[in-house]
Amino acid sequence: MLSALQLSLKRILTDNLGQCIKQIESSLDPRREAWNECLKLLTDFNRLERENMNNLLSREQYNQDFAKLTQRTLFLIDSLQEGDLSAARRLREEIHERILVVTRPEQRAYMERFFSKNYFKNVEYIHYGAPLPTERFDLVLLEDIQPEPLSAMLMEQYVEGIGSYILYFGEKFPLDRARYADKVYFANSIFSLYARIKEMLDFLKYYEQQ
């Protein structure tokens, strides 16, 4: 789930550069070069803030240096690799729930990018038109980013036949939302996909304990 972490870090960066750098530091393996780069950023950020507090910089110089630090932080975030993350972070983010992704052949490679095997340990894929597996899944994702007649025709069949909760990934759900309000949840962009998955899995974890 590296891409989800990167998106989260960028959101933090827009509000608080120092917090973003500290969050990066806590996520990285100290043995990796990315961690060393993060420490350099943190050192430069603390020095910049200290000099600013002591009125050693003009407002223009402070803004320029702050912008440079922001760009360096963005570059570090974009250059992160799976191996840069600490073992504790990876373990904390691993998802072992069983997820079924229903997609189209031409979209499968695209969807697989969202489910790194480093984090999602039990994901299976089928294509529209294939029979539903007999085994139980914790969550089923119906990919419908670019709606086609085939997927629309099969949507009701899948929604009715799937016994678990469903996440619809697209913008034009072809069925009556009110009818399936207690079964189908929605994500209409790549930015909301991970958030909806986490919310649904958290719901299942706590709901099933009741």
pLDDT band at residue 1 under the 50/70/90 scheme: low
- Could you tell me if 111 and 79 lie in one domain? no
- Could you tell me if 109 and 35 lie in one domain? no
Domain tally, the chain: 2
**pLDDT for 48-59, tens place per residue?**
999 999 999 999
- Could you tell me if 39 and 63 lie in one domain? yes
- Could you tell me if 107 and 76 lie in one domain? no
The contacts of residue 156 (CB under 8 Å, 6+ apart) are 174, 175
Under 8 Å between Cβ of 86 and 28: yes
**pLDDT: is 36 or 191 the higher one?**
36
**pLDDT: is 100 or 134 the higher one?**
100
- Could you tell me if 77 and 117 lie in one domain? no
Q: Helix or strand or coil: residue 16?
A: coil
Name residue, tokens 């790194």. 116
Report whether pLDDT(194) > 90: no
The contacts of residue 9 (CB under 8 Å, 6+ apart) are 20, 23, 24, 77
Q: Is the pTM value of this prediction over 0.85?
A: no
Q: Which domain holds residue 191?
A: 95-207
- Could you tell me if 84 and 158 lie in one domain? no
Query: Does an H or E element contain 139, and which?
Result: strand 139-144
pLDDT band at residue 75 under the 50/70/90 scheme: very high
Of the three residues 52, 68, 89, the one that is the final residue of a domain is: 89
pLDDT at 88: 56
CA separation for the pair 93, 120 (Å, rounded): 9
CATH at 199: 3.40.50.2300
The contacts of residue 153 (CB under 8 Å, 6+ apart) are none
* pLDDT average, residue stretch 82-93: 68
- Could you tell me if 85 and 105 lie in one domain? no
Report whether pLDDT(179) > 80: yes
- Could you tell me if 69 and 22 lie in one domain? yes
Report whether pLDDT(141) > 90: yes
In 10 A of CB 98, how many CB atoms? 17
- Could you tell me if 48 and 8 lie in one domain? yes
CA separation for the pair 89, 189 (Å, rounded): 25
Report whether pLDDT(92) > 60: no
